[in-house]
A and B are shown apart, each in its own frame.
Chain A
């Protein structure tokens, strides 16, 4: 059993809705390096909640001022991101492009009740794959830049292996990820986005209605997303905790069937288990089993991620740990094998980004892949 570090224990306690004041005071008294704690809180994406809690405790004035300053910067940035989201969703609607927003300001509003209690740095928008080219051109016409050349939109492998294109607003410098899929194909490829787009709700931001996922789809997505990243940011668990507290009438049969269909029951179980264990989320009404030993194994790795959040790791080491985590996360042996094959041998974004080949030459990517990987990893090892 691994213990949580004092800093992580403080972060978790500050993010709870029902806080233990004695425990918080004890953890605060044991903080030796406030700069490190501030960085850690930011890294875990929960800075606004940390600030909201700690400002009510006796901490040094200088530390409090620094926390306040960073929180104010987050508030301002979040307001800008919210305004940009409303603007861009209007632009898409005016041009007949169906789109929905996820994570960012809409998740903050839905789970926390405002756009400033959650930390986010970009916007995520989902469009239909058929509308991708139109969206791309619309963004370029409206002063958004991207590094992806338009020729890639005709590359079927690019669209199959990737999930999003990043744009940056020339005016506001806001980063927008336009997705046509929620995950890259080697992680999860069963989400039918056309259907997902229709299963939507509305979220009100500053008087404007923004299309978002239905609550059940959003919950499953959040569990998949957190699991994909090994729940290495505490923010992703807090999102779920707050979301579940706000939406008590979720249809758990619907969620279970959706998770079954998407072959991600273990990911949902893991999210629920961690929320229950670290945030006392009530999960009695759910139909998910959290007793699997695999879940405990994954939990240990997640705690490692938390305790080592600020420890620098090599890309090789990080990728290896994530690979093992994802391997264990797959529901069946067949899926595990498929995951290993797809990750090791299948063509991925790195190969396609190396060169944009016409359809008749797609087979060349299989020759490019080993050369690319060797040059990438061997050069890193010998550096």
Chain B
């Protein structure tokens, strides 16, 4: 079960580029491409350099200071779950 105590890692087989406010992710193992919208891109940008989800949450809370804290936590955990399902991150 994912919680804010979870630590994640981005495999080195995942490649990311941002074009026109869209984040394109390539899983080079499956050669599948994924696209994230602007908000997803911000989540990814923080997530890729911060393995600890509590830290990710804190940074995002500062970034989206007008959003409710519960909403950010829920969105973050759903986002991480979706990335893990697609094999774009691993739970450490």
User: Which residues of B are found within 8 Å of A116, using beta-carbon distances?
Assistant: 17, 19
Measured in the bound complex, the distance between the Cα atoms of B92 and A265 in whole Å is 55
Shortest B18–chain A CB gap in Å is: 9
Chain B's closest residue to A48 (CB) is B19
Tell whether A293 is near chain B: CB-to-CB under 8 Å.
no
Measured in the bound complex, the distance between the Cα atoms of B87 and A185 in whole Å is 47
Tell whether A76 is near chain B: CB-to-CB under 8 Å.
yes
Known A79-B26, A80-B28, A171-B31: A206·B20 in contact at CB below 8 Å: no
Please, what's the 1-or-0 string for B24-53, where 1 marks a CB less than 8 Å from any CB in chain A? 101010010100000000000000000000
* Residue contact A206 to B31, C-beta cutoff 8 Å: no
Shortest B23–chain A CB gap in Å is: 11
Tell whether B13 is near chain A: CB-to-CB under 8 Å.
yes
* Residue contact A72 to B19, C-beta cutoff 8 Å: yes
When the two chains form the complex, which single residue of A55, A172, A206 contacts B12, counting CB atoms closer than 8 Å?
A206
Measured in the bound complex, the distance between the Cα atoms of B13 and A224 in whole Å is 34
Measured in the bound complex, the distance between the Cα atoms of B33 and A72 in whole Å is 11
Chain B's closest residue to A90 (CB) is B12
Shortest B30–chain A CB gap in Å is: 10
User: Which residues of B are found within 8 Å of A82, using beta-carbon distances?
Assistant: 15
List residues 63-89 of chain A with CB under 8 A from any CB of chain B. Answer: 68, 71-72, 75-76, 78-80, 82-84, 86-87
Measured in the bound complex, the distance between the Cα atoms of B15 and A321 in whole Å is 42
Please, what's the 1-or-0 string for A107-128, where 1 marks a CB less than 8 Å from any CB in chain B? 0000000111000000000000
* Residue contact B15 to A83, C-beta cutoff 8 Å: yes
Measured in the bound complex, the distance between the Cα atoms of B26 and A86 in whole Å is 14
Measured in the bound complex, the distance between the Cα atoms of B19 and A116 in whole Å is 9
User: Which residues of A are found within 8 Å of B19, using beta-carbon distances?
Assistant: 71-72, 75, 116
Shortest A144–chain B CB gap in Å is: 15
Known A116-B19, A206-B12: A83·B24 in contact at CB below 8 Å: no
* Residue contact B26 to A83, C-beta cutoff 8 Å: yes
Chain B's closest residue to A76 (CB) is B33
Tell whether A207 is near chain B: CB-to-CB under 8 Å.
yes
User: Which residues of A are found within 8 Å of B12, using beta-carbon distances?
Assistant: 86, 206-208
Chain B's closest residue to A87 (CB) is B28
Shortest B5–chain A CB gap in Å is: 26
Measured in the bound complex, the distance between the Cα atoms of B19 and A242 in whole Å is 20
* Residue contact A172 to B17, C-beta cutoff 8 Å: no
Measured in the bound complex, the distance between the Cα atoms of B19 and A75 in whole Å is 8
Measured in the bound complex, the distance between the Cα atoms of B22 and A76 in whole Å is 12
User: Which residues of A are found within 8 Å of B28, using beta-carbon distances?
Assistant: 80, 83-84, 87
Measured in the bound complex, the distance between the Cα atoms of B31 and A116 in whole Å is 17
Q: Find the residue from A55, A76, A171, A207 having the highest chain B CB count within 10 A.
A: A76
* Residue contact B26 to A68, C-beta cutoff 8 Å: no
When the two chains form the complex, which single residue of A80, A86, A114 contacts B31, counting CB atoms closer than 8 Å?
A80
Shortest B15–chain A CB gap in Å is: 5
User: Which residues of A are found within 8 Å of B26, using beta-carbon distances?
Assistant: 76, 79-80, 83
List residues 207-250 of chain A with CB under 8 A from any CB of chain B. Answer: 207-208
Shortest A297–chain B CB gap in Å is: 41
Measured in the bound complex, the distance between the Cα atoms of B24 and A80 in whole Å is 12
Known A76-B33, A207-B12: A115·B20 in contact at CB below 8 Å: no
* Residue contact A75 to B17, C-beta cutoff 8 Å: yes
User: Which residues of B are found within 8 Å of A80, using beta-carbon distances?
Assistant: 26, 28, 31
Measured in the bound complex, the distance between the Cα atoms of B15 and A75 in whole Å is 11
Shortest B86–chain A CB gap in Å is: 16
Chain A's closest residue to B28 (CB) is A83
User: Which residues of B are found within 8 Å of A68, using beta-carbon distances?
Assistant: 20
Shortest B32–chain A CB gap in Å is: 11
Between A and B, 17 residue pairs with Cβ closer than 8 Å are A55-B20, A68-B20, A75-B17, A76-B26, A78-B17, A79-B26, A79-B33, A80-B26, A80-B31, A82-B15, A83-B13, A83-B28, A87-B28, A171-B31, A172-B31, A206-B15, A208-B12
Which residues of B come within 8 Å of A, CB atoms?
A: 12-13, 15, 17, 19-20, 24, 26, 28, 31, 33
A83-B26, A87-B28, A116-B19 given. 18 additional CB < 8 A pairs?
Answer: A68-B20, A71-B19, A72-B19, A72-B24, A75-B24, A76-B33, A79-B17, A80-B28, A80-B31, A83-B28, A84-B28, A86-B12, A115-B17, A171-B31, A206-B12, A206-B15, A207-B12, A208-B12
